[in-house]
Amino acid sequence: MTLVGGRNIGDAYFGAGEEPLFSDLDVMAIGPVVEDVADDFARYWYCKSVSPLQQVLDVPEGEMADRIELPASWHNDAMTHRYLRKMESSPFINHLVDGTLPLIWAKTRLLSDDPAKGEGKAKRHSLLPQRLFDIMGSPSERIDIISSYFVPTRAGVAQLLRMVRKGVKIAILTNSLAANDVAVVHADTRAGAKNCSAMAWNYMNSSRRVNKVVRYTIAA
């Protein structure tokens, strides 16, 4: 089993702190794609852009384990016990453990950037935007896009426009500016939206812990 998504490992992504909750979408998958994800992770883990932790943190190697180990108080914390009780009563978790979780069976392909991108040495054809359009080919009816940070680039906008003019319906689910902290993404999306007739949904932060999806139309 593999989990892939935009959620980082941190308090802000799991509602475990006082800061606003960063909600995101994840994909759980089984089958051959699990090995693909493992291979891709290793490709990044061992690339030249990665440095040993000791070069990043000014912590003696002997103290590293103590820094990352959970404090003893965590095991007796009331919030910890509430979280564990919710996990035990979660229908999703119970179905997952029992092997009865309903899954959507579909053809799946994993794509990612060339790790050389971190060194500025990746070729354009090895980067995700170009690879995505390569496998999309020439759709005749519909494309659904889910992206935390939808940055289509000029070439991407031009490609989407060509599809729309051929009658292809395009649906996009992305985060609203209220749900993330990267304003430049929305500047680029809006610039492309002016020239594209498509349907888009924004994942919006409507409160500290609740997110909602708002639909709007991008019209030429």
- pLDDT, tens digit, 9 for 90 and up, residues 57-107: 777 777 777 777 778 888 888 888 888 898 899 999 999 999 899 999 999
pLDDT of residue 34 exceeding 90, the answer is yes
Residue whose C-alpha is closest to residue 28's, from 113, 114, 93, 115: 93
- Alpha carbon distance 180, 173 (integer Å): 14
Burial of 15 (0-12, 13-18, 19+ CB in 10 A): middle
What mean pLDDT is predicted for residues 3-17? 77
Pick from 197, 192, 211, 188: which is nearest to 167 by CA? 197
Q: What is the pLDDT of residue 14?
A: 74
Residue 32 in contact with residue 107, Cβ under 8 Å? no
pLDDT at 15 over 80: no
pLDDT tens per residue, range 89-98: 999 999 999 9
Q: Which of 152, 145, 156, 144 is nearest to 188 (CA)?
A: 152
Q: In the chain, where are the structural domains located? A: 1-58+73-113
pLDDT tens per residue across span 144-194? 888 877 777 788 888 888 888 899 988 888 776 666 666 666 665 554 454
